[in-house]
Chains A and B, each alone.
Chain A
């Protein structure tokens, strides 16, 4: 049993999501949980995440695998009877988890990080590098089997071994750096 909690994460999540304040009118009906294609594997259904968030169980929310199992299919968003932007809220919770250092627990976070790393280096994603780097670092055992998939992709001419870059990489880097700077300011405020 715990005493009344003061939710801190809730306001932050709601404030930094477009239309996020609609979460205030959640009816806890469970349409999101029922609609989620990966809901069966989530530690909490999306509805439960929102209930925990509202009740101030911030730690439990940030530890949960739920947002990381979101496949971004938007089924919940279009079905929600209160028109809550659930998918976008999941993105925000993920960002908060990273920002608050809960990052290490989720393979998905690392996958995203690896992906973003390539984009920031080259302006384009690079599957071969992504797959090898991500799996060698994080799933050494799985990577053997996926290696077979990779070989097969090579055979079907579907994998490039050398990454491509965009021409004006400095321009993109400047834009992203500025955006990160602004985002950091946002976080502090």
Chain B
């Protein structure tokens, strides 16, 4: 396999709050011969907050990163955080779509001796790059510890599914489902796979946030998931550190660890838990590792439908 190189925009969350994600990304990248070259002197993407306060500076804030990336010329720009991904992607796209906006943003960038020509940097999410560029077959071949026996719910959250359909369906994407299957796990049907994690509502209205978090952990648990697999530090944060509080609020006791997808890949590639920063999570992964079996569980026969049952419509892979 040839090694691949990308520009990498880790984003603020991965510095501390979700440092485990960063550790896992680096470990998995090394294992897959991927070079992640950090974008030099990148700044915050503004999350969902800056656009609230002032639109133009928000675009300029993001565009500085794009301009730096264009200057550094290191390949596609990968973001592991959904919010960072969307802000970078959207700013590039809006600048391309609205030349008047692009002109203003560039006027601002000019104050810092920078310039960005919309369309020059291809912004991608880490998950999509791994699936598209490495490919599931390659990944499958590299699995050393298949995740047999693990029931996982693929949780996409909002910002990579919407508003731009870079991941297929904005409602029921299947990209990560296929990835987790390739790792040997059993992927449970998870109705709320693109439902919001609550975002910043934990800071604004706990009641609202708990309701959203609770819905997710409840539905995941009821779907038979041993864990949720996430691709966004915000989702992981809400599901993980607020799981206990959400449980208390609703007087329930769901226990659904939320794992970063690179931690899941790393586990299947045979990396040790401490190489993947296990233990930084609030809802412990320990029991999950115990659950992995040596052989694939026997295939359960699909439940026999009663004779009078009406046929279900056939479903294509993804519509």
- Residues in chain A within 8 A of chain B (CB atoms): 16, 18, 37-38, 40-41, 68-69, 71-75, 77-78, 85, 87, 91-92, 94-95, 98, 107-109, 111-113, 115-116, 119, 123-127, 131, 134-135, 142, 149, 152-153, 156-160, 164, 166-168, 171-172, 174-180, 182-183, 186
B59 within 8 A of A: yes
Find the B residue at minimum CB distance from A67.
B52
B105 touches A179 (CB 8 A): yes
CA A142 to CA B195, docked complex, whole Å: 26
Most chain A beta carbons < 10 A, residue from B19, B54, B107? B54
Query: Which residues from B are CB-within-8-Å of A16?
Result: 55
B206 touches A166 (CB 8 A): no
B208 touches A41 (CB 8 A): yes
Select which of A69, A152, A183 is within 8 A of B54 by beta carbon: A183
B198 touches A112 (CB 8 A): no
Q: How far is the CB of A89 from chain B (nearest CB, A)?
A: 12
Query: Which residues from B are CB-within-8-Å of A38?
Result: 196, 201, 205, 208, 212
Q: How far is the CB of B277 from chain A (nearest CB, A)?
A: 9
CA A51 to CA B199, docked complex, whole Å: 26
13 interchain pairs, CB-CB under 8 A: A18-B94, A71-B158, A73-B162, A78-B162, A78-B163, A112-B50, A157-B19, A158-B16, A171-B64, A176-B60, A179-B59, A179-B104, A182-B104
CA A131 to CA B242, docked complex, whole Å: 15
Query: Which residues from A are CB-within-8-Å of B113?
Result: 171
CA A152 to CA B245, docked complex, whole Å: 13
A119 touches B104 (CB 8 A): no
Q: How far is the CB of A181 from chain B (nearest CB, A)?
A: 8
Top 3 nearest A-B pairs by Cβ distance? A74-B162, A178-B111, A179-B108
Find the B residue at minimum CB distance from A98.
B53
Stretch at the interface among B41-49, B124-132, B299-307: B41-49
Q: How far is the CB of A117 from chain B (nearest CB, A)?
A: 10
Query: Which residues from A are CB-within-8-Å of B15?
Result: 124, 160, 164
Select which of A41, A73, A111 is within 8 A of B196 by beta carbon: A73
CA A109 to CA B124, docked complex, whole Å: 30
CA A72 to CA B315, docked complex, whole Å: 30
Find the A residue at minimum CB distance from B281.
A156
Query: Which residues from B are CB-within-8-Å of A166?
Result: 41-43
CA A131 to CA B17, docked complex, whole Å: 12
Which residues in chain B, 272-297, are within 8 Å of chain A measured between CB atoms?
279-282
CA A37 to CA B198, docked complex, whole Å: 8
The 8 A CB mask of B183-218 against A (1 = contact, 0 = none) is 000000000001110111101111110011000000
Most chain B beta carbons < 10 A, residue from A91, A158, A167, A179? A179
The 8 A CB mask of B101-124 against A (1 = contact, 0 = none) is 100110111111110000000000
Select which of B43, B59, B158 is within 8 A of A172 by beta carbon: B43
A111 touches B208 (CB 8 A): no
Which residues in chain B, 142-179, are within 8 Å of chain A measured between CB atoms?
158-159, 162-163, 165, 170-171
A183 touches B55 (CB 8 A): yes
B53 touches A116 (CB 8 A): yes
